[in-house]
Structure 1
Amino acid sequence: MGIGHRVAIGLGSNLGNSEATLKDALSKLDFIPGIRVEARSHLYQTAPIGPPQPDYLNACAILLTTLDPEYLLQTLLNLEKQFGRVRRERWGARTLDIDLLLYENWTIDLPHLQIPHPRMTERAFVLVPLSEIASDWVNPLTGKTIATLAQQVDRSGVKPFRQFFH
């Protein structure tokens, strides 16, 4: 694979063996042509947003990819389906959720794809793990680093779970 574009993704799971699901999803991503996992955060246990449901495990990863943003998004959605993701209700429980957070310093505003992810600056479960592996990355909409955004968000619902084993 060529050098590719630097991309940040967020991963979450609260159904089944969430720890194994997140690790397996990152392993599978590393085997998809045009994608290489460059870095992965620790796992965090987080309170859910939305209807009553179990706590989530969340993590973030940095990818290098030669895929364009729309094709990458479709690849991530297909991976969710491989892990049994069914979209029934907004913010409902899920076996695997993968969000495309940042793609280089690009901004994209399409009906099916918004980069940077439109709610990432409000979500500690994204910013805390992302700040571990991309603290100096600047959000092109806010002009602030991920580390700064992570310090400005309420982190009370985000607890360290355990390290990823590389």
Structure 2
Amino acid sequence: MALGSNLGGAGMGRRATLAAAIEAMRQAGLVPSRVSRFFVTPCFPAGAGPDYVNACIVLRDAPPPRRLLDILHGIEAEFGRHRTQRWGARSLDLDLLAQDCEILPDRAGFDAWQGLPPDRQASETPETLILPHPRLAERGFVLVPLADVAPDWRHPVLGRTVRQMLADLPVEQRAEPVPT
């Protein structure tokens, strides 16, 4: 899963917010088995707010995806997250990227969201959980920290490892995340 903050939450800075969110996950019964370094990355989309601090974690024995998402949304709310603007600035963003090799809601649903044109991506929100995250392979700010914790995880639709997906990105996208 991916973590990000570009506003900080609960009176903390961005980095402290991520560290506190990981602790909140532990308190909620989630067990991080691996935590990436923290990275400063430009806001996405460009101009939508201050730079982010991003990280990725791997959870051990995670609950089923929809239950996990409910827990993550509860933690986001504790840190002041309000879902008012798609791709807007946020106190805390916890994204479920994948769970093993599961494809949700099904292959056709995944394909529909992965193929969504950019203008619709910015304005539409799925009504159901889509796994793996349909933009996972396109985002250096996700793949760089994910490579810290799961470089050999293979995308169940694309058949590519994190390391391969990262190598597929333009050099400038791979260079954007800077360890903090």
TM-score by length of 1: 0.87
Of residues 136, 149, 152 in structure 2, which corresponds to 1:133? Answer: 149
Distance, in Å, in 2 between the alignment partners of 1:91 and 1:131 is: 23
Q: Quick one: which amino acid aligns to residue 5 of structure 2?
A: S
Distance, in Å, in 1 between the alignment partners of 2:163 and 2:138 is: 13
Partner residue in 2 for 1:89: 85
Q: Give the number of aligned pairs.
A: 152
Q: Residue 132 and residue 66 in structure 1: after superposition, are their counterparts in 2 closer, same or farther (change >3 A)?
A: closer
Once the two structures are superposed, residues 114-159 of structure 1 have per-residue CA deviations (whole angstroms, 9 ceiling, x without a partner) of: 1100111100010000011101110101101011111112313221
Q: Which runs of 5+ in 1 are unaligned?
A: 1-8, 162-166
Q: Does 1:155 align with 2:174?
A: yes
User: What RMSD in Å do the two structures reach over aligned CA positions?
Assistant: 1.3
Q: Quick one: which amino acid aligns to residue 27 of structure 1?
A: E
Q: Does 1:42 align with 2:20?
A: no
Distance, in Å, in 2 between the alignment partners of 1:66 and 1:137 is: 16
Q: Does 1:29 align with 2:19?
A: no
Q: Quick one: which amino acid aligns to residue 41 of structure 2?
A: T
Mapping for residues 1-166 of structure 1, pairs under 5 Å: 9-16=1-8, 17-33=13-29, 35-50=30-45, 51-109=47-105, 111-153=127-169, 154-161=173-180
Once the two structures are superposed, residues 12-44 of structure 1 have per-residue CA deviations (whole angstroms, 9 ceiling, x without a partner) of: 0000301000001011111223x2110100011
Q: Quick one: which amino acid aligns to residue 159 of structure 1?
A: V
Partner residue in 1 for 2:121: none
Greater shift in the superposed pair: 92-101 or 109-118: 109-118
Once the two structures are superposed, residues 62-102 of structure 1 have per-residue CA deviations (whole angstroms, 9 ceiling, x without a partner) of: 00134111010111011100000011211111010000001
Distance, in Å, in 1 between the alignment partners of 2:76 and 2:38 is: 18
Greater shift in the superposed pair: 95-104 or 152-161: 152-161
Q: Quick one: which amino acid aligns to residue 15 of structure 1?
A: L
Distance, in Å, in 2 between the alignment partners of 1:66 and 1:98 is: 14
User: Which structure shows the bigger proportion of residues in strand conformation?
Assistant: 1
Greater shift in the superposed pair: 103-112 or 139-148: 103-112
